Structure 1
Amino acid sequence: MMIHEYLRTLISFVFVLGVLVTFHELGHYLAARWRGVHVEVFSLGFGPALFKWRDKSGTEWRICPIPLGGYVRPHGFDDPEDATEEQKAAWIPGRTFHDKSVWSRAIVILAGPVFNFILAFVLFVLLFATAGQPHVRNEVASVLPGSAAQNAALQKGDVILRIGTHDIAGVEDAQATVAQTPGQKTTLLVQRNGQSLEVPLTIGSTQDSRGGPARGLLGVVFAVEPGKALPLPQAVSAGAKATWNTVVQTLNGVWQIFSGQHTARDLGGPLKIAQLSGQVAQYGFASLLSFMALLSVNLGLINLFPVPLLDGGRLVFYAIEAIRGRPVSKRVQEVSFQTGFALLAGLFLFSTFNDLSSFGLFRWVATLAG
């Protein structure tokens, strides 16, 4: 990889993550201001502040060197039992987080993920209103050398209508059908030069280098029809639909991992996101917007998972408090947060290990050792 590619990857990664984190934390910030909570700190990134300034409301804004997240610190966020006398003396009456109703606190926490969904929607609308909505057709644009498609003599322009006995509804349907049947002998019904033609085919197979299950592979590139800019009302409708579809697809992907349909080794971490950011950026700003929208939905959903330390975990505690009429015991919260920290740290290390494995680092180290 050339130096300019490294720079493109780094700049794209910082830009993408910076926008997503800014909007997420902006949701917390604006909701806190709306509910009458003073915000002490709004930080983009972690670590010592590179730049900081204080606005008229008393909020300190920071830009920090580690671009892996950010945070908003509401005034009086700590439980009164944990606060020192000095901290209590500095509290502004009526402006502390812990003094607000459980509903107000829940709104402040929920606003972060909600803003991620709003950002995804806005990005999709902007994309469709300017670049349009490209359509991928189940028409062969090219055949990969040595693939199952080449062995079956598929040609450019062939439209895949049926695989075996399954009528194909679109490209995603074709890809899913092929992926589930590695090595299977079947027939394709294609339309070629206006005529229907049955083609015998043995679906190819690819083995996950990280030990996952084999997946079927056809070996074609499907034709993409460039989109046309949509009128704003249609762009809004298409943006809402795209956001919802992304939510459904993301949850389906999570379910497939938990149900064993996909291996957890498919999980990617920050290094994978950085790599993809650089790769997507080379196809233009429209592609980068689409990628950011997908990531924004993922960030919103992940933060809603009921894991302590995440927004979803706090919302669970607030729901229990609303039902019981009193907060969850301090001991339960402490144990939950410790468990949540261990879980998130383990997930971070595991996903980073997956990233390094996919980059071939460990194979390279093994060759040096042996």
Structure 2
Amino acid sequence: MTQSPGILITIVAFALVIGPLIFLHEMGHYLAGRLFGVKIDAFSIGFGNEVFGFTDKRGTRWKFSWLPLGGYVKFAGDMNAASVPDHDWLMLPPEERARTLQGRPVWQRMIVVAAGPIANFVVAIVLLTGFIIGYGDFMAPPVAGTVVAGSPAAVAGIQPDDRITAFDGRAITTFSELAALTQPNPGKAVTLTVEHEGVSRTVTVKLDVQTVTTKSGKTLRLGLLGLQRRPVSLIEAPFVGVRRTFELTGMMAKGLGQIIVGQRSVKELGGPLKIAQVSGQQLALGWDSLIWLVAMISINLGFINLLPVPILDGGHLFFYAIEAIRRRPVPPQVQEWAFRGGLAAILALMVMTTFNDLDSFGLWKNLAGLIG
């Protein structure tokens, strides 16, 4: 059951999710730039006019801007926050030109640009590793680690190392899928397909009922099977975290591909309002749920920023790859028009996702009802 948090919790949760992820993404760019001796003019959380900030001893302006839906690092030699090269950077004195981003070798520029998305993936790996240590591997195959004595699973003869391959005829591949099908069916008799040493059998199990009281005081009745996942050791957990991060990135890539070819609806795309709503819901459920959401959004940010769209990090990497092959930069006029097109595409995507968000909140139906 989804809880409806108040507006204050929603705003706080949104800030807790988006703010740190933007900061760490831009910090990846910043640290990589510093590593290669690039002068950094500004580090901003948010876009638009500055609300407040300060200038450090290296001349970098650290600032918070009024639209907190992104951020940027502006390197010396950049025309704007999108890191479009300034046409006049070649006119700078040799010492200053060497400290611009464009004055660095192309491989160094690629590392600086890629460092932002990489930071997002590293954050996700760390969070998922901690989550796996605390709660188990959510994407592990549905293989029984422990069978609780006297539970429906034990009564049905399910043993450790047995694998559940189907729930009421529906194929399952992860423990989280098994839990998602079990919990909504308290007290119900269900059919499981169980595989033991390569031999499959079908068993009927009547799920137990577990009563849970949420933090908001609501009482929930959840189905309980009585299986526990195999524990993940401290040594193994980081490797599992890396593997799960790559798997989730692959799932996002597959989902985007399905939307592009029309196999899935564009209405599945959510924007800032949806992120804020879900953030509030997860914070209301507990910090563990919010941390899980932060890991998912961090992977999403890393993946989206690597798409070869001008204005995104992937667009810069695309131009740098062309430069490495041609051994000369893409003409500035071409880059400028490409970045304008990329900006238009991103703005159009933001409008569409916001429209989707408002539709999911029922705004358009309510307006139609008032008009009708």
- Measured against the shorter chain, the TM-score band is 0.7 to 0.9
1:26 matched to 2:27? The reply is: yes
Q: Which whole-Å CA distance do the structure 2 matches of 1:26 and 1:166 have between them?
A: 44
Is 1:110 the counterpart of 2:114? The answer is yes
RMSD: 3.6
Q: Partner of 1:266 in structure 2?
A: 268
Q: Is the 8 A contact 2:5 2:284 kept in 1?
A: no
Residue number in structure 2 paired with 1:8: 9
Structure 1 position 252, deviation (Å): 1.6
Length-normalised TM-score, structure 1: 0.75
Aligned-partner Cα distance in 2 for 1:264–1:59: 40
Question: Which stretch of the first structure deviates more once superposed, 109-118 or 254-263?
Answer: 254-263
Give, as a single letter, the amino acid of the residue that structure 2 aligns with 1:9: T
**Corresponding residue for residue 104 of structure 2:** 100
Q: 1:221, CA displacement in angstroms? A: 6.3
Distance 1:108 1:27 in 2: 8
Mapped to 2, the partners of 1:280 and 1:164 lie a distance apart of 29
- In structure 2, distance between residues paired with 1:332 and 1:91: 27
Residue 66 of structure 1: how far off its partner (Å): 1.9
Is the aligned partner of 1:36 residue 2:37? yes
Q: Which consecutive residues of structure 1, in runs of 5 or more, have no partner in the other structure? A: 140-155, 178-187, 200-219
| Aligned mates of 2:237, 2:178 — CA distance in 1 | 27
Gaps of 5+ in 2: 80-84, 144-151, 159-163, 182-189, 195-200, 206-221
Task: Write the deviation string for residues 191-225 of structure 1: whole angstroms up to 9, x where unpaired.
Answer: 79xx94579xxxxxxxxxxxxxxxxxxxx967697
| Separation of aligned partners in 2, 1:247 and 1:222 | 31
Correspondence for 1:359 = 361
324, 332, 346: which one aligns with 2:326: 324
Cα offset for 1:273? 0.6
Distance in 2 separating the partners of 1:71 and 1:342: 18
Q: How many residues align?
A: 320
* Structure 1: distance between partners of 2:90 and 2:108: 24
CA deviation map 1:4-31 (0-9, x unaligned): 7111110010110011101110010001
The amino acid of 1:348's aligned partner reads M
Amino acid at match of 2:314: G
Identity %: 39
Could you say if the C-alpha distance between residues 221 and 164 of structure 1 is closer, same or farther in structure 2, counting changes exceeding 3 Å? closer
Please say if 1:57 is aligned against 2:63. Answer: no
> 2:48 is aligned with what amino acid?
G
Alpha-carbon spacing, 1:283–1:43, altered in 2? closer, same or farther (3 Å)? same
| C-alpha separation in 1, matches of 2:5 and 2:356 | 25
In 1, Cα distance between equivalents of 2:117 and 2:98: 26
Query: Residue 239 in 1 paired to residue 241 in 2?
Result: yes
In 1, Cα distance between the equivalents of 2:93 and 2:87? 14
Once the two structures are TM-superposed, the CA of residue 303 in structure 1 deviates from its matched residue by 0.5
Distance in 1 between residues matched to 2:229 and 2:20, nearest whole Å: 25
Q: Return the offset for 1:235.
A: 2.1
1:81 aligned partner: 87
SS at match of 1:65: strand
Distance in 1, matches of 2:4 and 2:257, equals 39
Aligned equivalents of 1:137, 1:311: Cα separation in 2: 35
- What is the aligned partner in structure 1 of residue 308 from structure 2? 306
Offset of residue 366 of structure 1: 0.8
Question: Normalising by structure 2, what TM-score?
Answer: 0.75
